Amino acid sequence: MRICHVIGARPNFMKAAPVVRALSAYPVEQFIVHTGQHYDFNMSDVFFQQLDMPDPDVNLQVGSGSHAQQTAQIMLHFEPVVLERKPDLVVVYGDVNSTVAAALVCSKLMVRIAHVEAGLRSFDRSMPEEINRLLVDHTSDVLFTPSEDGNRNLAREGVGPERVFFVGNVMIDTLVKMMPEADRRFSSNLPARYALVTLHRPSNVDDLDWLASLLLKLEQVGHELEVIFPVHPRTRQRISNLGIIPSRNGHIRFLEPLPYLEFLGLQKHATVVVTDSGGIQEEATFLGVPCLTVRENTERPVTVTLGTNVLVGRDVTRLADELSGVLTQSKRQGGIPPLWDGHAGERIAKVIVGDRRGGV
């Protein structure tokens, strides 16, 4: 059996690593295609080193562009790879453009597709990722869900239950594996309490008026709680557009994008996390760290119903109120969702190779 893994953006690497590792225990042939959707070293190559993943067998080197340009370029470059290497199954991850591009190519070539992190829905079609999720799920042959709401969403959309497998969250597999090393690298020079901030969604950072008001609130909060802000390249450009030099600025400590291990250590020891990232909502829930998500909705509702996540929307006043609440109250108590146990990759591998020993 020949299996192709398609990855291209930072979250994909963390999701693919446990699956590649688990499948290596079986007599299958694997190869990895890196689309090049993320091409900055700290956003790409370093993850292969830290996650102990094999180097990509193919790098399409697509780079940036509009959604249409990037998706089209990945399709154009990926199709010849599929025709030449003839995989029996192509595994795609998450909801980025690399995922939907690979799925569309394979659906036209009648190559079987497995989608890891299937069934997630924000119910907001203004988000490009939501369109990607819908298209990929409805072209996939095997769907691996990280939480039970994913199964319910797919059933409601008419996806047959024989194609859907609730396996848990592969992001947590990577977190569990890497946490000891992240702890070892964690710097003791940081303040005892701090807020960790990440922002990257265009709907947030491209709105310069909103971004300016958010930074002002964070600066005010920084009088009580230091703010550490590793800045995504897109966000860094927008902050520069506001006339702010993203170095240390008042009570906000701006950093370059961090390698996964360093970021994970920061996240574990944070007093609170402020983010618009889906994966960080999940990680904060597992780590028990309060998470304030500056979005109106989330495709990961289990982090709100069971975890430590609070949706504050784009209301910066509410964000400041919630941050103050974190400082004056004990940590929000949240549970860990079912099957977020570090073994999702193993369950996925069993399904792929047809090994039902010990169940799925």
Chain centroid to Cα 300, Å, comes to 11
State the sign of the Cα–Cα–Cα–Cα dihedral 222, 227, 232, 233. Answer: positive
- 26: number of Cβ within 10 Å: 15
CA distance 345 to 22: 6
DSSP secondary structure of 286-304: HHT--EEE-SS--S-THHH
For tokens 């230091």, the residue is 226
Which residues, 6+ apart, have CB-to-CB distance to 341 below 8 Å? 168, 172, 176
Per the structure block, which two tokens stand in for 341?
């146990």
Per the structure block, which two tokens stand in for 325?
């609440």
Per the structure block, which two tokens stand in for 249?
């600025």
Nearest CA to 3 among 116, 126, 104, 95? Answer: 116
Contact 98, 35 (CB under 8 A): yes
Compute φ and ψ for 89, nearest 5 degrees: -150, 135
Which residue is catalytic, options 200, 223, 269, 343? Answer: 200
Interior CA angle at 300 toward 296 and 301, to 5°?
Answer: 75
Contact 307, 283 (CB under 8 A): no
Contact 208, 238 (CB under 8 A): yes
With H, G, I as helix, E, B as strand and everything else as coil, classify residue 34: strand
- 346: number of Cβ within 10 Å: 19
- 100: number of Cβ within 10 Å: 24
Is 200 one of the catalytic residues?
A: yes
Contact 44, 38 (CB under 8 A): yes
Q: Which residues are catalytic?
A: 200
